[in-house]
Structure 1
Amino acid sequence: MKGKKRNLEFYYLFFLSITAIAAIIYSVFWADQAVDYKALIQENISGVTSIEKIIGTKPAYKVEAAGGCYYAVCDSAMGYQSKVETMSIIDEKGMVEKVLVTKQGETPDFFERLYKQDYFNSFNGLSVKEPIYLGGASGYSGYLAGNQTTNYIDRISGSTVSSHAVAEAVNGGNLYLSRQIFNTAWTNPYDVFQLTWKELAMIVMYLIALAGVYVKKLVRIRIWVLLVSIGVLGLLINQFATANLLFSLIHLQIPGITNIKWYVLIAGSLGFIIFLGKNLYCAWICPFGAAQEFLNKVAGFKPLGISQPVIKKLKLVPSTILWVALILGTCLGNYGTLDYQPFGALFLLKATWVIWLMLPVFLFMSL
């Protein structure tokens, strides 16, 4: 009887794996829909008479319209969990007329803030002949810092990563047009490598967790590492390993080397599992798991004494939830809409009402 149960669990996980792989292959090779850039240009420039593609490495166009000559260029950058592609519409003087988003798979609740707070209109009137810096984004490439210029925009609080991705994509397209059309070249500040205390803190924490595998005495400090993780990763850096991070890797939506935190998260979560066979992220690093563990210790509840057969079935729940998220994300064509994870609610105090309802459930599951 026990052997039969094991077989059922095996076939169940096998079914989840095969269908998940099929969904991933479909979403990578067939589900992605191409953007009709010319139609988008006609929708946003009145009186278009001709659209001529500019030969080069990026989607760029010369547009003749009743109001004069315009240029449109597209580029993309990695956001929190997906690539964000933008189209910049530029007038014949090299000034930004409009910035549009053509593709993105960010968490809707966070990306909507950019629209609600009029972020995209802040690009209007800025020049493509010099970089557009990002104000209020300390520690990010392209940060305004002490640069004496009026060619900048301010990030949207609570959506800094998405704000940065849009600004980086716009700058990439602007630099391309600046060189191709306006014969002006400048160094893109979004390509400048930066190693701040945030990246160093993440690297140190992962190295301590890695050392804990080989130095058994370090297990004693695990609880302190988790406490630091709540403060540093949870409250200050706001970086978490999520299912959407995995989906972005599967779709090869990989950011530039300037986004070191993304690489540290991937290496410290998925990398440790693949190469060491150990889930060090959940045991040593995860700030949400740390909050659950401390809540459990404070509550002082005794174990519920659940039987082993029930525990084995409960272990199938995470795989099932991940499978459901993957299948729904494939069907909807946007994994960002499935950001059911409660990290943002707990540490950013920002989430949809569904997540707020689910947060107590996730927290008290550890009791």
Structure 2
Amino acid sequence: MYSKKRSDFWKKVASIVSVILLLLAWYGGSTRITDNQSGMVDQLLINGDLLNQIDDRLYEGRILNKLNPVEYIGLGSGIGYGGMTEVAVTVSSLGDIQRIAVLSSKDTSSYLDKVIQSNLMEKLLGKNIKSNFEIDGVSGATVSTNALTEAIKRAADPVRFELFGINRAENEKPISHFRWLDLLAIAMFTMAILVNKTRHRKKSMFNWALLLTSMCVFGFYSSSLFSSSTMGILISGAWLTGLGNYTSIILLSLVILYIIATNKNVYCNTLCPFGATQECLAKLGNTKTISLTPVFFEWFPRGLLLVTLCLGLYYRNPASFSYEPFGIMFGMIGSIYLFVLTTITIVTSLVVKRPWCRTLCPMNPMTDFIRFNRQWFKSVLNKQRLKRQIILTNQMVGSEVKRSEVSK
């Protein structure tokens, strides 16, 4: 009993400290971005000596003792998987593109690197912004390509208006990025709830059908399963300004709301694409179910997720600090260490059932955090309710005593 009380105490401390660290990381990141962006724009001048800001999206570069600007710098943004990609375009006084620079990006770094390595930006150098310019896509990173393309076009808009008087483009509303996959995510989550509640003799078959469908659709087809980066995007509020894909954020939100409402997690065993992959590999091998009881396997994933979320909030790019093997598994895009981690997980899944789920998966710390705070909140409410009942009972007893004294 004493050990459990002490354990609960330290969990409460860890919960409060975690929230404070996340808030500090978010605040620190907001001040860092403001300082960095103004400094980066100043370095984009090519021929000018002085940089003057015309409005939020437009700067002009001038040479000392000359009246007319020699170049302009426009800022623009496009919506990618993880949020906004901010771009600056340096344009000559004649309207020719001289330089393109990515100021910040909330997209997955491996996808963005693939787009940049395709020389997409170099192909635009020298083109005149007065006429519309077409940009070729990059296979395997379509959403990231679209985000960068949109950002470049929007960065050219204020310069085009300043030089040629052509109106700027309208900003695309975040709601326009909702897709049929988002509706399918809601439908499949509803089916997962029903499957987990049913006592039908073919419940296992229904569960497998959902797992395989999720693996194909949310895994190999769209790679839209949620991860630690999705958690970072959710708590940072980046999704409010638009995402290239809302499916993962919708799935995560549904999971969180359902855990809060029922204390149950239906995602891991019924919908998780990577969980389905491990289940399929388990069928191929002679797997064993192991139970990891040491405290290390309980607290290390929690600390890892907290550090990942804090770094993502501070640098405003949760996708860059994601440590899951999902990108390699379903898109063959990611760093070398993720490739090694994915290979180890796949091989281990042939021997041990769901090794990723039992070790480093961020779903476990997130679920534990929600459940613990849910129970903590309920216990506080119950104590308050009990106090009110005791006070009410004492008042009733006191009034009865007074009545009896009066009657005597």
After TM superposition, the score normalised by the length of structure 1 is: 0.77
What whole-Å deviation, never above 9, does each CA across 1:40-64 have from its counterpart, x for those lacking one?
3453333313322113xx3321222
Aligned to 1:223: 208
1:282 aligns with 2:264: no
Change (3 A) 1:339 1:256: closer
Instruction: Give the drift of 1:87.
Output: 1.1
Aligned to 1:53: 53
Aligned to 2:279: 293
Instruction: Give the drift of 1:198.
Output: 4.0
| Residues 26, 310 of structure 2: 8 Å contact kept | no
Tell me, what secondary structure is at the counterpart of 1:224? helix
Question: 1:66-145 residue pairs with structure 2 within 5 A?
Answer: 69-126=70-127, 128-129=129-130
Q: CA RMSD, aligned part only?
A: 3.5
Aligned to 2:238: 253
| Residues 57, 158 of structure 2: 8 Å contact kept | no
Change (3 A) 1:120 1:15: farther
| Residues 247, 335 of structure 1: 8 Å contact kept | yes
| Residues 230, 249 of structure 2: 8 Å contact kept | no
Aligned to 1:145: none
Change (3 A) 1:61 1:256: same
- Among 235, 241, 252, the residue aligned to 2:220: 235
Distance 2:77 2:248 in 1: 16
Aligned to 2:332: 349
**Which amino acid in the other structure matches residue 259 of structure 2?**
I
Instruction: Give the drift of 1:103.
Output: 1.6
Tell me, what secondary structure is at the counterpart of 1:193? helix
- Among 127, 131, 148, the residue aligned to 1:166: 148
Distance 1:122 1:362 in 2: 40
Instruction: Give the drift of 1:296.
Output: 2.2
Instruction: Give the drift of 1:235.
Output: 0.9
Aligned to 1:141: none
| Residues 168, 190 of structure 1: 8 Å contact kept | no
Instruction: Give the drift of 1:293.
Output: 1.9
Tell me, what secondary structure is at the counterpart of 1:278? coil
Tell me, what secondary structure is at the counterpart of 2:176? coil
Change (3 A) 1:171 1:268: farther
**Which amino acid in the other structure matches residue 287 of structure 2?**
F
| Residues 273, 279 of structure 1: 8 Å contact kept | yes
Percent of aligned pairs sharing the same letter: 20
Bigger radius of gyration, 1 or 2?
Answer: 2
Change (3 A) 1:130 1:273: farther
1:273 aligns with 2:285: no
User: Which 5+ residue runs of structure 2 have no aligned equivalent?
Assistant: 355-408
Q: Matched residue pairs, number?
A: 341
Aligned to 2:176: 193
Change (3 A) 1:197 1:277: same
Instruction: Give the drift of 1:114.
Output: 2.8
**Which amino acid in the other structure matches residue 124 of structure 1?**
L
Instruction: Give the drift of 1:316.
Output: 4.3
Distance 2:128 2:253 in 1: 38
**Which amino acid in the other structure matches residue 165 of structure 2?**
N
After TM superposition, the score normalised by the length of structure 2 is: 0.70
Q: Which moved more, 1:162-171 or 1:7-16?
A: 7-16
Tell me, what secondary structure is at the counterpart of 1:84? strand
Change (3 A) 1:179 1:227: same
User: Which 5+ residue runs of structure 1 have no aligned equivalent?
Assistant: 132-150
